[in-house]
Structure formats: structure tokens, C-alpha cells
Amino acid sequence: MRELSYAEAIREALGQAMEADERVFLFGEDVGVYGGAFGVSGDLVHRFGTERVIDTPISELGIAGVAVGAAITGMRPVLEIQFSDFVTLAMEQIVNQAAKIRFMFGGKATVPMVVRLPGGSGTGAAAQHSQSLEAWFAHVPGLKVIQPATPHDAKGMLLAALDDPNPVLIFEHKLLYKTKGPVPAEAYRVPIGKAAIRREGTDLTIVGTSLMSLKAEAAAARLAEEGISAEVIDLRTIRPIDFDTVAASVRKTGRLLVVYEGVKTMGIGAEISAMIAESDVFDFLDAPILRLGGADMPLPYNPQLEKAAVPQEDDIVAAARRLKREE
């Protein structure tokens, strides 16, 4: 199968969706002639024109308001926030309007909008341009939150998000844009709310999100050389969480390690841990659950400090070893 980069897979999904449905349009800061801050939109403006690939003013709140209004009236807007950190300026429209309108109008109005959010550390962009904020939005009923980790999932989950009558937030890790992988040429869907088992194992379960699921796979390969069999689950969807896949794995392995880049405190790992503790799966645990998350601090600009502030492959290996020793 042919290979595309993560960015190319997103662009292809956008192009196919816009060809298939004239209601779909892309807008945001520098998505037009410039091709997107990270080069994702590329030549889409030349293919579809400036009425469907729209450069906007620097006003995230205004952009998000336009997206909500367009979605309510039947359009399928795809809004790109240049850095996910800037979504803080659009919180009112996303959290108080997009998330609640369908409920408040008894289903008579829907908000089928997609918000693309480049996020994560590793580019030396410092504290205001490197955060992982997905847990904020997973706290809000009415929103769906996804984090595709591969080019295949980036395309398929974006197309699934465009089919959804609800607002969907896609957090795209900036370090993934240049990664490559097999991507079918046709338009296909990867279901929202379904995790993927990236590697099967018997000794412990490692649940990862976004880039961390790839780091977990690399760590599992190293652990296998030591005789430790780790099962790796790429969560893919943060809300709704695919608890059934996680639960089945933990029942088999008896150990759970959750790895995510967002700040550890009150993060995705805490929610998964609580779900395990409140279910019968707790009885299958042979060791306490471990969480690896980001440090409780603003992300540093210094590259070595930045790296130390979020989990790395070595950290996952060390945590897995410690978990395996808990007999």
C-alpha cells in the first residue's frame, strides 16, 4: 500500500470530503495561500477556491462563532486553530454553545463542526504553544475528542468526524505531521470511540494517547527483548473512551500503565484509573495502576528541559519494569 505523511493524509481527507459534499469548507488563520502553519492545507485553496478555503482574521473567538453558526444552518465547517493553545480564546463558543445547543434544543438543532487543533511539545515552541489540552474538553458533555496517532487514523477519523452530527475536536500532535504510514486511496472511516490494539501482550497493558502510543510501541519492543510482554492500546478517542477494550486487556494482563503527554494531574490517566477502580476489572489487578503524564509545570523552551517535562520512551520502559516487579 502507498504511504502518506500524517499531514498528507489529513489533506487528502479534506479534499475528498470537499469533493463529495459542497457543504464542507475549511477556514482558519493562514490555511489558504500560505498552506497552513504546518503545511497541512497545502494546495486546497487552489483546488477549491477562497470561498471554501478561507483565511480568517486573528480572532479565535470570532472564528469559532462562525463555525457554530455555519454548522447550525447546515454547513460542515472544519475550523483549524493554528496552535491548540489558542483555543483558550474560543472556549465560550466551543464549550457553552457548540457542546450544548443540540441538548438545549431537544435535538432540533445539531452542530456538525470539526475543530482541528495542532498541539503537543517537542518543537521548542515554549509554554504558550506546546500544551496538550485534550483533557479539558473531554470534561465537557456534548463534545467528542479524538487523537489519531497514525496517518491511516488521521484520514479515517477526520472523515468520520465530518459525518458526525456533533462537534468533534481533533488534537493533532505536531511531531506526527511528518511521520509516514500506509493510507488507502479511497475515502474510508475509522470509527470514533474505538481504541486500537497496536501490540498484543500478556504481562501488562500500556494505554497510550497520540504520540505516546507510538512511544509505547517502541518501548514494548525493547521490553520484549527482556522477556516482558506488553500489550499496547492506542486509545484514539478521549471522549467517549473505549473502556471495553481497555478492560478486556487488563483482565488478561493484570497490570496497567497509562501514558499521556498532558499534565498528569486530573488527566486522562486519572479517568481511566477511576473507571478501572469502579468496575469489576479492579479485582483482576495484580499491581497498582501507574500513570505517566506531563510534569505539573508550564512547558520549558529549553529542549532538554522540555523533553524532561513529558514522558519519553525510556520513562515508559522504566515504569513497565517497575510494574512487572510488583508481584
Q: What is the pTM of this model?
A: 0.96
SS3 (DSSP) at 211: helix
Say yes or no to pLDDT of 53 above 80. Answer: yes
Please choose, from the candidates 204, 163, 159, 241, the residue with its C-alpha nearest in 3D space to the C-alpha of residue 318: 204
How sure is the predictor about 325, in pLDDT bands with cuts at 50, 70 and 90?
A: confident
Q: What pLDDT is attached to residue 327?
A: 59
Q: How far is residue 13's CA from residue 290's CA, in Å, rounded to a whole number?
A: 36
Q: What pLDDT is attached to residue 75?
A: 98
How large is the average pLDDT for residues 56-80? 97
How sure is the predictor about 224, in pLDDT bands with cuts at 50, 70 and 90?
A: very high
Q: Which residues carry out catalysis? A: 60, 129
Please choose, from the candidates 40, 65, 69, the residue with its C-alpha nearest in 3D space to the C-alpha of residue 53: 40
Q: Report domain extents, the chain.
A: 3-182, 196-325
How large is the average pLDDT for residues 188-210? 98
CA distance between the termini of the chain: 43
Per-residue pLDDT tens over the stretch 252-264: 999 999 999 999 9
SS3 (DSSP) at 259: strand
Q: Taking the CA atoms of 132, 133, 139 and 141 in sequence, report the sign of the dihedral they define.
A: negative
Q: Tell me whether domains 3-182 and 196-325 share a fold.
A: yes
How large is the average pLDDT for residues 96-100? 98
Q: Write down the CATH superfamily of domain 3-182.
A: Thiamin diphosphate (ThDP)-binding fold, Pyr/PP domains (3.40.50.970)
How sure is the predictor about 155, in pLDDT bands with cuts at 50, 70 and 90?
A: very high
How large is the average pLDDT for residues 31-53? 96
Locate the DSSP E strands across 102-229.
Answer: 114-119, 144-146, 168-173, 180-182, 196-199, 204-208
How large is the average pLDDT for residues 110-126? 97
Q: What is the CA radius of gyration of the chain?
A: 20
Cell of 259: 501514558
CA distances from 13 to 25, 124, 161, 220, 316 (A): 12, 29, 11, 31, 33
Mean pLDDT score across all residues of the chain: 97
How large is the average pLDDT for residues 34-59? 96
Please provide the size of the chain in residues.
327
Cell of 194: 474505538
Q: Taking the CA atoms of 52, 53, 57 and 62 in sequence, report the sign of the dihedral they define.
A: positive
Say yes or no to pLDDT of 326 above 90. Answer: no
Q: How far is residue 312's CA from residue 40's CA, in Å, rounded to a whole number?
A: 26
Per-residue pLDDT tens over the stretch 227-270: 999 999 999 999 999 999 999 999 999 999 999 999 999 999 99
Say yes or no to pLDDT of 1 above 90. Answer: no
Phi, psi (deg, nearest 5) at residue 84: -60, -30
How sure is the predictor about 127, in pLDDT bands with cuts at 50, 70 and 90?
A: very high
Per-residue pLDDT tens over the stretch 286-322: 999 999 999 999 999 999 999 999 999 999 999 999 9
User: In the CATH hierarchy, which fold is given to the domain comprising 196-325?
Assistant: Rossmann fold (3.40.50)
Q: Is the separation of the CB atoms in 110 and 73 below 8 Å?
A: no
Q: How far is residue 45's CA from residue 43's CA, in Å, rounded to a whole number?
A: 5
How sure is the predictor about 117, in pLDDT bands with cuts at 50, 70 and 90?
A: very high
